[in-house]
Every structure is written in C-alpha cells, then in structure tokens.
Amino acid sequence: MEECPEGEIPKRFPKGTNFLQRNREFVCGWGAASINILVTFPLNKVIFRQMLHNLTIPAAARQIRSEGIVHLYRGVLPPLLQKSVSASIMFGMYDEAKKPFADSDLPVTLVKIIAAISAGSLESILAPFERIQTLLQHERYHTDLLNMKHTVVYLYKRHGLKEFYRGVTPILLRNGPSNACFFLIREQAMSALPECSTLTVSVLQTFAIGASTGAFCSTVFYPCNVVKVHLQRKIGGPFQSVTSAVKEIYLKRGSIRGFFRGVHLNYTRACLSWGITNTAYEGLKRLL
C-alpha cells in the first residue's frame, strides 16, 4: 500500500493488511518517544526544579548535583512509560481520527484540528504518570516515596484513585491545542521544503522541523505546565482550582514573567527533544 502524502487525510487500510502496517504510527510514536526520554531526562529535571522553586538554571543544577548521581534518573520510569504511550497515542490516534473524514467535505485543516484535539484529549488519561513524576522529582518526598510502585500504593491507599488526577485540567488545556499547533505547523513545513538529495540532509531537515515546531509549541503552552506542577506538588487535601493556582503563582512571583521561569532551558530541551522525536519517528517509519 502506498504511503499517504504528508498532510493528506489517510484512507482506511484494506482487509488483509498486516498488524504492523495497520499500527505503524502507534509503534513509531512509541519508539521515538522512548529514545527521546532517555536522552533528555536530566535536562527536564533541571527545568522541573525551576518550575517548582522559581530557581535560576545554575541554582537548579547545583541542587540536583548536591543530591548525587543516584537521584539523577529518579523518576524516569513514569515519564518513560507515559511519554512513550502518549506519543504512541498522539501520532497513532491523530492518524486514525482523520480516517473517518477521508470522504467528507470538511476542510482538511478542520479535520486535522479535530483529530489533533481528540488525540490530545485521549492522552490525558495518562495524567497519573505526570502526577507520579512530579512527586518523585520533588526533593520533599525523597525519603517518603521510594519509587514508582511505592508512590502508586501510597496514593491509592491513603487518598484513592482521584488523587492520581490532581492537576488534570491544565493537562487537558495543554494537550489538545498544542497537538493541533504541532501537527499543523509540522506538516506545513515538511510539505513546503524541497525533497532532500542525501540521507544526511534529510535527517538534518527532519530534526530542524521537529526542533523548531516542538520548541515553539512548548513555549506557547509552558504556563500550563507551571500551573500543573503547582497543583500536583501537594498530596491530599482539597483540590485547588486552576484559577486559584494562577492567582497564587502570580501573587508569589509578582508578574506574568513568573509563569515563564525556566522557559529558556525548556526551549532548549524542547528543541533537542522534538528534534530527536521527529527524526526517530520518521526513521522508524522508513524502517517499518
């Protein structure tokens, strides 16, 4: 079966298509995210401490260094599981959600937006992984929460299933719109640029598209992550509303700029992260 050109609405696979071909977008999304997480986790941890404590980059790095190498990858399992499955859903469901509209009269751009928001909303079921990652990365819980398994048992026994979804609202506000932004810009860029003559140029071009698109979207929606971390830093007690959290952060940090503390390093991480993800994704698609 011929591959659907970038940006077009894919048709449904005919009967008899093998499992791997039918689910290629899911598999490639999962593999690309796994590669990315293992490479960028230490940088992500520095950004997390900036979000949480309003620290500068050197101060956040010193704090992590003082905790020792044994804690550097503490908390990596939740994002490894969450991001790999999330990217699988992101790419796979985006592709699947467009198929029912293949023969419709709806504008292609509208179909892409509907598919991207649908995929992003579905990704939000993985919010517990982000919740656990926040707690494991927070130095306050280094002695109280031993690992992912212990955290899951602790939260469930003491506070129930609802506690895993603390902070889900900013995740929903982030996922759908950022997905739509990412796919629309990415596909436009990939279709506009000329076809590459060599593999090296192709890899560099794919990396650049993923890096610039991902960094832009990540920067625009960065305040959602700051609010999410603020909501998820607590265990137990009443759930704080997004509006209340925004007011609290603003009063504490004194300006709108406070919502972007750590954004410079986040931009750098997003460039690297989405560059790797996009390159790995396209490479896996070619292999499969």
pLDDT value for 2: 43
pLDDT value for 143: 86
pLDDT value for 50: 84
Quick one: which of 97, 146, 140, 138 has its CA closest to 118?
Answer: 97
**Per-position b or e across 247-284, b if 16+ CB within 10 A of its CB:** eebeeeeeeeeebbbbbebbbbbbbbbbbbbbbbbbbb
pLDDT value for 16: 54
pLDDT value for 7: 56
Q: How many whole angstroms separate alpha carbon 87 and alpha carbon 85?
A: 6
Please state, rounded to an integer, the average pLDDT across all residues of the chain: 88
Helix, strand, coil % over all residues of the chain, rounded to 5: 75, 0, 25
- Encoding tokens for residue 278? 């996009």
Residues 76-95 have a mean pLDDT of: 89
- Encoding tokens for residue 180? 């739509």
Write out pLDDT tens, residues 259-282. 998 888 888 889 999 999 999 999
